[in-house]
C-alpha cells in the first residue's frame, strides 16, 4: 500500500517518526541557541552574538522544513514543548555566558543532529524517498562545514 506521493505507507510512517525526532531536537537546539545569543559575554561577544543568531535563524528554517516534510509523508508534526523535550536527545542548557562553552555546546548538539540525519538518510534510501533523502543530504553537508569552522574557531 502506498501513500499519496507513492511511498510505501509503513516506510513513510517510520520516516515521519524519525523526522519528528529530528524536529524535537532542532527545537531544543534552536532554544539553546537563543539563550547563547542572549547570554554570551566576554571578548568574543560581538562575533558570537552574531554567529549564534545566524545559527538560530538557520535552525528555525529547518524546523519548518522538517515539519512540512512530516506533513508531506502524511504524518503529524510534533508541536508541543513537552513532546519536544520527551523526544529530544539534545537537552536544555541554561545560563551559559562563556563563548567557548557555548560553541562546545553547539558542537555537541550538531553531533546529535548529524547522527539522526544520517539515520534518516539511510531510511529514506530504503524507502526510495528522494524528498527526505535530498533534505537530509543538504543538512548533513551544511552542518559538517559549520562543525569544521566552529572547531577551527576553538583551535
At 14-51, the pLDDT tens digits run: 999 999 999 999 999 999 999 999 999 999 999 999 99
Grid coordinates standing for 92? 536544555
At 65-124, the pLDDT tens digits run: 999 999 999 999 999 999 999 999 999 999 999 999 999 999 999 999 999 999 999 999
pTM of the predicted model, to two decimals? 0.97
Q: Which three-class secondary structure state does DSSP give residue 93?
A: coil
Q: What's the mean pLDDT in 41-64?
A: 98
* CA-based nearest residue to 109, from 35, 15, 9: 35
Assess contact for 12 and 129: CB atoms under 8 A.
Answer: yes
Grid coordinates standing for 13? 510512517
For position 81, what pLDDT does the model report? 97
Grid coordinates standing for 145? 562545514
Exposed, middle or buried: residue 100 (CB in 10 Å: 0-12, 13-18, 19+)? middle
Grid coordinates standing for 97? 555566558
What is the chain's mean pLDDT, rounded? Answer: 98
Structural domain boundaries of the chain? Answer: 9-154
DSSP state of 2: B
For position 122, what pLDDT does the model report? 98
DSSP state of 5: T
Grid coordinates standing for 55? 545559527
For position 57, what pLDDT does the model report? 98
CATH number for the domain whose boundaries are 9-154: 1.20.1260.10
- Residue burial 59-73, b: 16+ Cβ < 10 Å; e: rest: beebbebbbebbebb
Amino acid at each position: 500500500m502506498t501513500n499519496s506521493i507513492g511511498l510505501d505507507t509503513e516506510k513513510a510512517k517510520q520516516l515521519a517518526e524519525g523526522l519528528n525526532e529530528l524536529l524535537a531536537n532542532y527545537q531544543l537546539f534552536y532554544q539553546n541557541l537563543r539563550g547563547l545569543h542572549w547570554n554570551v559575554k566576554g571578548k568574543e561577544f560581538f562575533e558570537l552574538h552574531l554567529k549564534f543568531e545566524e545559527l538560530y535563524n538557520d535552525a528555525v528554517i529547518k524546523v519548518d522544513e522538517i515539519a512540512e516534510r512530516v506533513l508531506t509523508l502524511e504524518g503529524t508534526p510534533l508541536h508541543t514543548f513537552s513532546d519536544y523535550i520527551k523526544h529530544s536527545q539534545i537537552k536544555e542548557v541554561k545560563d551559559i555566558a562563556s563563548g567557548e562553552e557555548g560553541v562546545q555546546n553547539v558542537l555537541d548538539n550538531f553531533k546529535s543532529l548529524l547522527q539522526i540525519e544520517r539515520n534518516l538518510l539511510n531510511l529514506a534510501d530504503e524507502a526510495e524517498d528522494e524528498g527526505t533523502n535530498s533534505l537530509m543530504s543538504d543538512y548533513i553537508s551544511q552542518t559538517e562545514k559549520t562543525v569544521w569552522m566552529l572547531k577551527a574557531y576553538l583551535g
